[in-house]
Amino acid sequence: MVEEGQLVERLAPRIEERIRYKIVKSIIDALEEQFYPPEEMFREEFVKSVEEAEKESGRIFKDREELKEYLESLV
């Protein structure tokens, strides 16, 4: 029969690891929501303007600033 102390020693590290994983995962998820909003949160007009600009220029824009510079150069 396994003693209670031995059982705790064996299970505690596993429990701590799972808790640590869940905390880190929730932090990563929260950060991703802040910096990478889901596509459905983008305005449809913005998505269309990006797609149109990519078609016209034949290139893929790496970020919003690059797209903005391209669109301003058209004016």
Considering the domain architecture, whether residues 28 and 53 belong to the same structural domain is answered as: no
What is the pTM for the complete model shown? 0.44
Percent helix, strand, coil in the chain (nearest 5)? 80, 0, 20
Considering the domain architecture, whether residues 3 and 21 belong to the same structural domain is answered as: yes
Considering the domain architecture, whether residues 44 and 73 belong to the same structural domain is answered as: yes
- Give the three-class secondary structure for 15: helix
End-to-end CA distance of the chain: 80
Domain count within the chain: 2
Cβ atoms of 53 and 68 closer than 8 Å: no
Considering the domain architecture, whether residues 25 and 44 belong to the same structural domain is answered as: no
Average model confidence (pLDDT) across the chain: 81
| Residue 6 vs residues 3, 48, 74: alpha-carbon distances, Å | 5, 61, 71
Q: What confidence score (pLDDT) does residue 36 get?
A: 65
Considering the domain architecture, whether residues 20 and 45 belong to the same structural domain is answered as: no
Give the structural domain span for 14.
Answer: 1-36
pLDDT in tens, 48-74: 877 887 777 777 777 778 877 877 777
In one-letter notation, the amino acid at residue 66 is E
Considering the domain architecture, whether residues 44 and 32 belong to the same structural domain is answered as: no
